[in-house]
Every structure is written in C-alpha cells, then in structure tokens.
C-alpha cells in the first residue's frame, strides 16, 4: 500500500468507526425496574428476553437518509444497530421499502417500513417498521433463531428483544366453550350463502394480482427469487426477479 494512501484510509476508517459508535449509542441495556412506564399488552410472553432503552428520534433521523428500494444502484450507506437476544449488537445496511402508494404515504408520513442486511452476519435480513407506536422488527438469519424487537412500554422508549425459541404458549390462549354440534343460526346462514356463491375465474385472477408477492418472502443479498405464482390447473401468471440492493 502506498504511503500516500494511508491518510485517506485512516480518515475512512475513523468515519466508519464513528458511524458504528453513534448507531450503537442509541440503544442502552436496562433492567425491569428501569421500565417504569405503562407496559404494552402482549399476547405472548417470551420465556427469556432482554430489555433496551432506545433513542427513537435519533433512529428516525438516521433512517431519513435511507435510499428507497429500487432507486439505488449501489449498496446503502445508511447503517443502524439492532440489539440481539444474546445482548450483543449487530449492524445493518438499510433501505426504505414503502408499502403504501405515494398519496397514501403522504397522508400517513409517520408510517415507515424498511429492509436491512446484516454486516457482521450477511445472512441476516431484518424487516422493521417505525410508526407512532415505535419500532417493530423481525430478523431472519441462517446462523441463529429468528429475532424480534417490540415496544415494551407505551411511551415507545423501552423495547423487548427475544427470539423464536423463547416463545411460550399464548397467555390468553383461546378456548371455545360452545358445545360441539350446537345449532347456531349464524353458521347456518353462512353455509347457505357459501353454497349459493360462485367464484369466477376473474375473481381468482384479481385476488392474485393484488398480492405483492416479493414482500411476503424475505430477501437475501445475491439470492434471486424467480418462482412463478400458480393458480390451480392454470399457467403461471406472475414472475419477477429481484434482490436487495
């Protein structure tokens, strides 16, 4: 390496380190006693988890520079940090992935959705949203269990981090108390309505056309999805090739 290039690489490394440090500082581990605000009601209580305080506004400021999906030819330079169920931190490159049409998105600017690729773990793909209800994230990885981040307190300042392996049976698991075989007028009406209704071929195609299929499948860098969506006994009606920038 030429000595003339040393100052450049030193500055680049310093800037890169500063970005990592700043993104890490928005998270702070906390204990149960630190989360004094009213808790968010949860249907599922993980058996093990970690709690973190998040500077949500700093996260929003960072994400405001994220490139839009499909409008960036290179990889994103917007990097954020997400905590893991193990108590460590991982860094991700982020792109914004709008789920609403432009007019609707302008009406609800507080609703944002993103996709992110892991830096330390390139197989990790995070999908998360930032709304008036805080941050909600799910990270899929080939190396570890699926990880989740949810709001823990209603003030959107504290978050619970856990993985799929720690999920127990829902605390309010549903139990039907209606005796089997009991005559219910509403079910009888639904049955008659179903018998009289015909499902046309046009309806079938319209339902498939409305689905944004790529957003239903996790993306991975360098991996292409090129699978046809098929209707029963019909030719493929959808095909698309895509990848995360």
pLDDT per residue as tens, the chain (245 positions): 555 554 544 444 444 444 444 455 899 999 999 999 999 999 888 999 999 999 999 999 999 999 999 887 788 999 999 999 999 999 999 999 999 998 999 999 999 999 999 999 999 999 999 999 999 999 999 999 999 999 999 999 999 999 999 997 655 556 677 776 667 666 566 556 555 544 344 444 444 444 443 443 443 333 333 333 333 444 444 444 444 55
Question: Can you give the pLDDT at residue 195?
Answer: 52
214 burial class (0-12, 13-18, 19+ CB within 10 angstroms)?
middle
Question: Can you give the pLDDT at residue 169?
Answer: 60
- Which residue matches tokens 């169920």? 85
Q: In angstroms, rounded to a whole number, what is the distance separating the alpha carbons of residues 169 and 220? A: 30
Question: Can you give the pLDDT at residue 118?
Answer: 97
Quickly list H helices, the chain: 6-24, 56-63, 102-107, 185-196, 201-209
The residue extents of the domains of the chain are 3-166
Quickly list H helices, 25-117: 56-63, 102-107
Checking DSSP bridges between strand 158-163 and strand 50-54, what pairing results, if any? antiparallel
Q: In angstroms, rounded to a whole number, what is the distance separating the alpha carbons of residues 129 and 71? A: 19
Residue 9 CB partners (closer than 8 Å, separation 6+): 1
DSSP-derived 3-state class of residue 244? coil
**Distance between terminal CA atoms of the chain?**
30
Residue 113 gets which letter from DSSP?
E
Residue 78 CB: number of other CB atoms within 10 A? 20
Q: In angstroms, rounded to a whole number, what is the distance separating the alpha carbons of residues 123 and 170? A: 30
Q: In angstroms, rounded to a whole number, what is the distance separating the alpha carbons of residues 52 and 135? A: 12
- Which residue matches tokens 């789920």? 99
Q: Which two tokens stand for residue 84?
A: 């893991």
Q: Which two tokens stand for residue 242?
A: 């895509």
Q: In angstroms, rounded to a whole number, what is the distance separating the alpha carbons of residues 62 and 22? A: 10
Q: In angstroms, rounded to a whole number, what is the distance separating the alpha carbons of residues 175 and 183? A: 19
Question: Can you give the pLDDT at residue 50?
Answer: 97
Cβ contact 127:115 at 8 Å:
yes
């Amino acid at each position: 390496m030429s000595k003339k290039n040393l100052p450049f690489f030193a500055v680049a490394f310093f800037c890169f380190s500063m970005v990592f440090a700043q993104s890490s500082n928005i998270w702070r581990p906390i204990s149960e006693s630190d989360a004094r605000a009213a808790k968010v009601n949860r249907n599922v209580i993980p058996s093990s988890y970690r709690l973190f305080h998040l500077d949500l506004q700093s996260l929003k400021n960072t994400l405001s520079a994220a490139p839009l999906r499909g409008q960036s030819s290179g990889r994103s330079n917007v990097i954020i940090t997400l905590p893991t169920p193990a108590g460590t931190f991982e860094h991700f490159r982020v792109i914004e992935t709008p789920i609403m049409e432009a007019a609707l998105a302008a009406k609800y600017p507080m609703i944002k959705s993103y996709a992110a690729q892991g830096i330390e773990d390139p197989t990790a793909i995070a999908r998360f949203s930032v709304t008036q209800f805080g941050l909600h994230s799910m990270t899929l990885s080939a190396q570890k269990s699926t990880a989740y981040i949810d709001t823990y307190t209603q003030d959107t300042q504290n978050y619970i981090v856990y993985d799929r392996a720690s999920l127990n049976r829902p605390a309010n698991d549903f139990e039907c108390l209606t005796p089997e075989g009991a005559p219910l007028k509403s079910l009888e009406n639904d049955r008659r309505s179903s018998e009289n209704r015909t499902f046309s071929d046009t309806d079938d195609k319209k339902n498939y056309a409305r689905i944004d299929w790529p957003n239903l499948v996790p993306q991975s860098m360098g991996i292409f999805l090129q699978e046809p969506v098929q209707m029963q006994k019909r030719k493929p009606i959808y095909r698309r090739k895509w990848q995360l920038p």
